C-alpha cells in the first residue's frame, strides 16, 4: 500500500536523505525543491524516484555534494555558470536571478551551465522565468543514449528542451517540456519490466536493426522522435548545451559516467526574452486569444494542463509514494 504524504513531508524527506548522504544544505534544499515540484505536478518519474540516484552519484564520488557554483557575468546579456560537478538545481537557482535581471534590462539574455549533474524535470527550471513575465527556453543534454537519424550508435542524450510563455491575469505560465527521443527511457524500462513491446521507431537493438523489444533497445540505442526532424532538434540541443557552455557533449558525458545509477555530468542553457519590450502589453491578451482558439479546436490541449491539474490536486491531497520506494527513502534519510 502506498504511503500518503504531504508536499511538505516530501520536501523534508528529500532534504533529509540528501543531507544524510553528505549533501550541503544549499544543494539539498535546491534538489529537494526540484523533486517536490515534480511530485506536485504528478511527474513521479522525476520526483522522489530520482532520489536514490542522486545519493548514488554522491556515494560513487561522481558528483560533488558540497559544490558551490561559479557564476560569471560573461557579457551584458550572458551568464556563464560552472556547476563544478554539483547538482543542476543549485546552479540554476543561483544563476536564474541574474539571467532574469539581464533579460529585463537588455530585452534578452542567455545563461549556460556546465559541469552540472542533472536528473530532473525541465519545466521547473523555466517556470519561474515565465512567472517573472519572460518567454523562456531551456535545453539540457545527458550521457548519450540516442543515435542520430540514420545512425546506429549512441551519440546524443535524450536531450529535452522546454519552452515557457507567461500569461496574464494570474494564470500559470504555459510550459512544455519534451525529450528529443521518441520515447522516454523510463517508459522503455517499464515496458521491458512488464514484457510489453514498444512502437516501431523507438530504437534499435545492439545489432543496429530496428526492434520493438524494449530490452533490446536498452542494450542498443534510442531514436529521436519524428525521424530526421527530431534528430535535428537533438543536434541543436547538443550544440546549445555542450557546445555553448563549453561543457560535455552527450558522448563525453557518457565517457565520464561512473555507471552508478545517478545523473551524468551534462550541460544546459537558457534563453529569456522580455516580450513586452517587443509586442507591448497587448502581448498577453493576444496570447490568450490563441490559447482560446487552440482549446476550442477538437481535442487539442494546452501543453502542461495535466500538470497544472495535478498541482491543484496535490496541494490539497498531498502525494502517494510507492511502498518499496518509501522504505528505501526512509532508510536513506536515516529514519530507520
Joined together, the cell numbers standing for residue 13 give: 524527506
Among 22, 168, 208, 331, binds a copy of itself (CB under 8 A): 208
78 sits near a copy of itself (criterion: CB under 8 A): yes
- Cβ distance to a copy of itself smaller for residue 56 or 182: 182
80 sits near a copy of itself (criterion: CB under 8 A): yes
Among 32, 35, 62, 155, binds a copy of itself (CB under 8 A): 155
Among 243, 310, 322, 330, binds a copy of itself (CB under 8 A): 243
- Cell 486569444 belongs to residue: 289
Distance (Å, rounded) from C-alpha 179 to C-alpha 234? 9
Which residues belong to the active site? 45-46, 187
64 sits near a copy of itself (criterion: CB under 8 A): no
Are the C-beta atoms of residues 187 and 224 closer than 8 Å to each other? no
Strand order in the sheet with 210-211: 210-211, 203-204, 221-222
Report the largest interatomic distance among the alpha carbons of the chain, rounded to a whole angstrom: 57
The β-bridge partners of 82 are 70, 114
- Cβ distance to a copy of itself smaller for residue 299 or 316: 299
- Cβ distance to a copy of itself smaller for residue 23 or 240: 240
Q: Which one-letter DSSP state was computed for residue 107?
A: S
171 sits near a copy of itself (criterion: CB under 8 A): no
236 sits near a copy of itself (criterion: CB under 8 A): yes
How many residues contact a copy of itself, by CB under 8 A? 70
Q: Which one-letter DSSP state was computed for residue 49?
A: G
DSSP 139-205: EE--S--BPPTT--S--B----EEEEE--STTPPPEEEEE-SBSS-HHHHHHHHHHT----TTSEE-
Contacts with a copy of itself, residue ranges (CB under 8 A): 74-78, 80, 105-110, 112, 135, 147-153, 155, 163, 165, 176, 178, 208, 225-233, 235-236, 238-240, 242-246, 249, 251, 271, 273-275, 277-280, 282-283, 286-287, 289-290, 293-294, 297-301, 303
Amino acid at each position: 500500500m502506498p504511503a500518503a504524504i504531504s508536499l511538505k513531508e516530501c520536501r523534508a524527506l528529500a532534504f533529509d536523505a540528501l543531507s544524510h548522504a553528505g549533501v550541503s544544505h544549499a544543494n539539498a534544499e535546491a534538489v529537494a525543491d526540484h523533486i517536490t515540484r515534480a511530485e506536485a505536478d504528478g511527474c513521479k518519474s522525476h520526483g522522489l524516484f530520482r532520489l536514490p540516484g542522486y545519493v548514488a552519484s554522491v556515494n560513487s564520488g561522481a558528483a560533488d555534494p558540497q559544490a558551490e557554483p561559479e557564476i560569471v557575468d560573461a557579457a551584458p546579456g550572458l551568464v556563464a555558470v560552472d556547476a563544478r560537478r554539483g547538482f543542476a538545481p543549485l546552479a540554476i537557482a543561483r544563476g536564474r536571478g541574474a539571467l532574469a535581471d539581464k533579460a529585463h534590462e537588455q530585452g534578452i539574455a542567455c545563461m549556460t551551465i556546465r559541469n552540472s549533474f542533472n536528473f530532473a524535470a525541465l519545466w521547473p527550471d523555466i517556470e519561474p522565468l515565465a512567472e517573472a513575465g519572460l518567454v523562456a527556453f531551456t535545453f539540457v543534454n545527458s550521457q548519450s543514449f540516442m543515435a542520430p537519424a540514420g545512425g546506429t550508435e549512441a551519440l546524443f542524450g535524450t536531450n529535452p528542451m522546454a519552452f515557457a510563455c507567461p500569461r496574464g491575469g494570474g494564470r500559470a505560465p504555459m510550459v512544455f517540456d519534451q525529450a528529443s527521443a521518441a520515447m522516454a527511457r523510463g517508459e522503455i524500462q517499464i515496458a521491458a519490466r512488464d514484457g510489453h513491446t514498444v512502437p516501431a521507431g523507438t530504437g534499435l537493438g545492439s545489432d543496429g536493426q530496428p526492434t520493438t523489444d524494449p530490452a533490446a533497445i536498452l542494450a542498443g540505442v534510442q531514436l529521436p522522435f519524428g525521424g530526421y526532424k527530431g534528430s535535428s532538434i537533438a543536434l541543436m540541443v547538443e550544440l546549445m548545451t555542450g557546445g555553448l557552455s563549453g561543457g560535455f557533449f552527450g558522448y563525453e558525458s557518457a565517457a565520464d559516467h561512473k555507471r552508478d545509477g545517478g545523473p551524468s555530468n551534462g550541460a544546459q542553457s537558457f534563453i529569456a526574452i522580455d516580450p513586452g519590450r517587443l509586442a507591448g502589453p497587448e502581448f498577453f491578451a493576444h496570447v490568450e486569444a490563441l490559447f482560446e482558439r487552440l482549446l476550442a479546436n477538437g481535442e487539442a490541449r494546452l501543453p502542461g494542463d495535466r500538470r497544472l491539474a495535478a498541482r491543484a490536486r496535490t496541494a490539497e491531497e498531498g502525494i502517494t509514494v510507492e511502498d518499496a520506494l518509501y522504505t528505501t527513502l526512509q532508510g536513506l534519510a536515516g529514519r530507520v
